Structure 1
Amino acid sequence: MFWWIFCFTLTMLAHDVHSETKSNLSSLKTRFEPLIDFIKCIKISESPTIPTITPHELESKNDSITKKLSCGSTPTTCKKDIYRSFDGTCNNLENPSWGAAKEPFAELVNNNYADGVHQFPETSENEQLPNPRAISLLVFPSENIIDKKWNLNTMQWGQIIAHDMSFAGRTTFINNNPVTCCDSEGQLTSDSEKNPFCAPILIPENDAVNKEDGRECMEFVRTVSTKDIDCTSSKSPSFPINEVTSYLDLSLTYGSSKKQADSLREGRGGPLKSE
């Protein structure tokens, strides 16, 4: 998705540069300056990074919610079975943990944490990245565009594939207390300043829709990572956890664990529950 936005933006920029007169180039540069700063911080790796993690029991954790998460448990042996597993383990016999649920995401680009571990990345000038909402408004202005080739089914199919392959676990509870950084009215909460998982998106001045409603923020809580559940050392880069299998196996329908799959069945002959 990022690369689609990236290529789309460069194409749009090239078109504007071609059509603009020299006198307007300075205003064009100002218009795209936040996005250019954002792109500067991206560094492409030569190959995906697959983290090597040794999971262990989280006995030191008092948080019952966090205890339900793990970095996965690679099977020592895979039993012979004619069916694939619900949690994705042993679907690749040579690499039993590949594609399994509760495993860290692999990286297609090098991580660029400001502290090398978990802090949000910065620009090449060590400054805060541009407001993500401002970038959205810039790249995707509020306009009605009729596409002559693609319809709503394209988006829906893409969403099904995305939800089947990935689901980053969001930390909604810490020590059994809900984490809310921006409330339903769009106002910053007390958690927004003190909770390390909070990263609310502030509403920019040119956001006509949200500013008109008096909103000052959009909710954003950071995802659960290997660092948060003690699966990597305190000095190692953290990796987000994928809560579902990364196979196209309809896990969004059948679940990504035996327990979850059983809860969706009638318990009589195998049919799924229905309402």
Structure 2
Amino acid sequence: QCDSKYKYRLMNGRCNNLHNTNWGSSFHCHRRLLPADFADGINIPRAATSGLPLPSPRLLTEFIMPDIPVPDQKRTGMNMMWGQFMVHDNFRTIQNLGLAINCCLIPNVTVHPECAPITNFPQDEATQAFNKQQCINTVRSATCNTCSLGPRQQLNVATQVMDLSNLYGGNLIDDTLTLRSFVKGLMRGSLDINGNETLPVRRLPKEQDTLDLTPCNEPLNNPELTCYHSGDGIRGNQQPGVNSIHIMMRKRHNQHAKALSYVNPHWDDETLFQEARQF
């Protein structure tokens, strides 16, 4: 049930619309711009008009869409990084909910039905770097329960509104409580080797996001410390630009919380946290 008098957005995105309470909430289906196109109309991946499998995606990216740098005269790299951060706020399409799946097993071994490995591709610089790799492990996106018959739909575990769910958490696994200090509305943090404030460091296995089937690489000299901890799982560590925006947003939240605490010393932790988040 939704409380129409509750002042703040729920972390999972529910109740933004009191008439359609699940609209925009986490763990619901992606909306399609175009109709689904499966080989059998339901589930089997699309095939060529001849019925044969489509060419290897790696073959297409290598010969039809080569990586050609084209400097932009108006935008910097931050345009891309901010765009990626905003996409992470609205979308998170995950693989199978469960244990990691290996789709590149030796021949004649039964593979998982959700496997869609990329094989039969040219040996380019990228694959040569990985000992002439012959298979790229690829697992299909997790399905969404539509409660009706029809084609396969994809699951979105992020909230579908701009509410910084990638910073605060918003799905059933990345619990917002693990990101909070519960002191004056502040979010948790840690210090880097130079003493600068940054995101909290994720400690395994307690703080492993079970939606992340590919965990971060563990530092050899400190295997219990891996990636930074954010509301977006492993994606908050995909590249330095996105990680920097996460750090900036967390610092901004704490700046608001400290200022609000100064002018409203009677506010409790929950009020300070929610008001800073609302800013």
TM interval, shorter chain, is: 0.5 to 0.7
- The structure carrying a bigger helix percent of its residues is 1
TM-score of the pair, normalised by structure 2: 0.60
Q: Report the Cα distance in structure 2 between the residues aligned to 1:125 and 1:141, rounded to whole angstroms.
A: 27
Q: Report the Cα distance in structure 2 between the residues aligned to 1:83 and 1:92, rounded to whole angstroms.
A: 13
Q: 1:164 aligns with which of 67, 89, 93?
A: 89
**1:206 CA displacement:** 5.6
Q: Which structure 2 residues correspond to residues 1-275 of structure 1 after superposition, within 5 A? A: 75=1, 77-171=2-96, 173=98, 177-182=99-104, 188-189=105-106, 193-205=110-122, 207-211=124-128, 213-226=131-144, 232=147, 236-257=150-171, 260-275=175-190
Q: Report the Cα distance in structure 1 between the residues aligned to 2:142 and 2:28, rounded to whole angstroms.
A: 11
| Change beyond 3 A, Cα 1:104–1:190 | farther
One-letter identity of the residue aligned with 2:133: R
| Change beyond 3 A, Cα 1:192–1:119 | farther
- Is contact 2:30–2:154 with CA below 8 Å preserved after alignment? yes
**1:138 CA displacement:** 3.1
**1:266 CA displacement:** 0.5
Q: Report the Cα distance in structure 1 between the residues aligned to 2:14 and 2:109, rounded to whole angstroms.
A: 37
One-letter identity of the residue aligned with 1:243: V
Aligned pairs, number = 188
| Change beyond 3 A, Cα 1:201–1:255 | same
Q: Report the Cα distance in structure 2 between the residues aligned to 1:246 and 1:94, rounded to whole angstroms.
A: 17
Which structure has more relative contact order (CA 8 Å, sep 6+)? It is 1
Q: Report the Cα distance in structure 1 between the residues aligned to 2:152 and 2:142, rounded to whole angstroms.
A: 9
- Is contact 1:203–1:215 with CA below 8 Å preserved after alignment? no
| Change beyond 3 A, Cα 1:250–1:139 | farther
| Change beyond 3 A, Cα 1:190–1:265 | farther
Query: Percent identity between the aligned chains?
Result: 28
**1:149 CA displacement:** 2.6
**1:262 CA displacement:** 1.4
Q: Report the Cα distance in structure 1 between the residues aligned to 2:88 and 2:162, rounded to whole angstroms.
A: 10
Question: Structure 1 runs of 4+ off > 4 angstroms?
Answer: 188-193
- Is contact 2:90–2:159 with CA below 8 Å preserved after alignment? yes
RMSD of aligned alpha carbons: 2.5
One-letter identity of the residue aligned with 2:179: L
TM-score of the pair, normalised by structure 1: 0.61
Q: Report the Cα distance in structure 1 between the residues aligned to 2:171 and 2:4, rounded to whole angstroms.
A: 17
Q: Report the Cα distance in structure 2 between the residues aligned to 1:224 and 1:191, rounded to whole angstroms.
A: 25
Q: Report the Cα distance in structure 1 between the residues aligned to 2:108 and 2:186, rounded to whole angstroms.
A: 44
Q: Report the Cα distance in structure 1 between the residues aligned to 2:164 and 2:141, rounded to whole angstroms.
A: 23
**1:210 CA displacement:** 1.1
| Change beyond 3 A, Cα 1:238–1:78 | farther
- Is contact 1:104–1:242 with CA below 8 Å preserved after alignment? yes
| Change beyond 3 A, Cα 1:123–1:113 | same
- Is contact 2:97–2:142 with CA below 8 Å preserved after alignment? no
Structure 1: stretches of 5+ with no match in the other structure: 1-74, 183-187
| Change beyond 3 A, Cα 1:110–1:272 | same
| Change beyond 3 A, Cα 1:148–1:252 | same
| Change beyond 3 A, Cα 1:216–1:232 | farther
Structure 2: stretches of 5+ with no match in the other structure: 191-279
